[in-house]
């Protein structure tokens, strides 16, 4: 894809997404996160760390996914810490669909992935659309159960990748046999006072995780180290 003109046009269009594309939470930073970040500073942690994320946090994410959904993920090879859930959405869509050739079917909350679709040059449609070709099914907690079941059945039949955002009690697509086709994303503490700390994750089968990890690292190298320790402290305190 040519860069200069298409990207300039898409960057200008991003300004039109408006406030609906942003999830804002006005919550104080929890003491557990503050304390963990301060302790990390005291022991000499700096801004940079392992590019996929600090291993204890990746392990915690993998453990949480197993406890909540029975999903087995390799913390070392299959979990990547991102700069918030927004980057996780962006990375997944850039890698799961060819540029300017595909469709994202958002079963709910399409505004969450609108920017990523715009930059990639792919269509964004709702659950009532007629689609074919390269398709990603985006599933979040607000999806209608009937539409969710129908679209996951189609994803199974067509071998479409699924992008599942952890944001509520909704079951994981792995429950319908889609573990190997699903990229799981989420924010860590973004609704509990850590939104500005920008910590999220993506988790995927090893074969899919490699390209996702490489692309994320090309974007931002690593997620801020102290933010990661803060998120880990919060997860441990609320477990």
Q: Which of 219, 225, 229, 11 is nearest to 119 (CA)?
A: 11
Q: 171 with 70: CB under 8 angstroms?
A: no
Where are the extended beta strands (E) located within 121-199? 123-125, 135-139, 162-165, 182-187
Torsion angle defined by CA atoms of residues 161, 22, 219 and 132, in that order, rounded to the nearest 10 degrees = 30
CATH number of 47-238: 3.40.640.10
pLDDT tens across the length of the chain (239 residues): 444 445 556 656 666 665 444 455 567 899 999 999 999 999 998 877 788 999 999 999 999 999 999 999 999 999 999 999 999 999 999 999 999 999 999 999 999 999 999 999 999 999 999 999 999 999 999 999 999 999 999 999 999 999 999 998 899 999 999 999 999 999 999 889 998 999 999 999 988 999 999 999 988 877 889 999 999 999 999 98
> Which pLDDT belongs to residue 1?
42
pLDDT at 21: 44
Q: Which of 111, 147, 112 is nearest to 129 (CA)?
A: 147
Return the number of other C-beta atoms located less than 10 Å from residue 63's C-beta: 14
Q: Where are the domains of the chain?
A: 47-238
Spatial neighbors of 168 by CB under 8 A, at least 6 apart, are 140, 141, 142
Nearest-5° Cα angle at 90, 86 to 95: 150
Cβ atoms 201, 88 nearer than 8 A: yes
pLDDT reported for residue 19: 46
pTM above 0.75, yes or no: yes
């Amino acid at each position: 894809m040519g860069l200069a003109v298409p990207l300039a046009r898409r960057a200008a269009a991003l300004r039109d997404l408006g406030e609906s594309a942003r999830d804002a939470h006005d919550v104080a930073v929890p003491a557990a996160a503050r304390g963990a970040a301060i302790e990390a500073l005291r022991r000499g942690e700096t801004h940079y760390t392992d590019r996929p994320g600090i291993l204890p946090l990746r392990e915690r994410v993998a453990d949480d996914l197993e406890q909540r959904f029975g999903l087995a993920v390799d913390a070392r090879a299959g979990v990547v810490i991102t700069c918030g859930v927004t980057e996780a959405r962006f990375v997944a869509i850039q890698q799961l669909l060819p540029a300017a050739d595909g469709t994202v079917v958002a079963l709910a909350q399409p505004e969450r992935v609108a920017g990523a679709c715009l930059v990639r040059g792919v269509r964004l449609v709702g659950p009532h659309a007629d689609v074919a070709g390269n398709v990603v099914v985006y599933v979040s907690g607000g999806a209608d159960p009937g539409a969710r079941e129908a679209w996951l059945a189609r994803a199974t039949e067509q071998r479409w990748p699924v992008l599942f955002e952890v944001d509520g009690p909704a079951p994981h697509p792995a429950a319908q046999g889609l573990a190997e086709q699903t990229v799981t994303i989420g924010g860590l503490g973004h609704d509990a006072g850590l939104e500005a700390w920008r910590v999220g994750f993506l988790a995927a089968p090893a074969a899919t995780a490699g390209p996702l990890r490489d692309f994320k690292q090309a974007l931002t190298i690593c997620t801020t180290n102290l933010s990661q320790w803060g998120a880990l402290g919060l997860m441990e305190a609320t477990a």
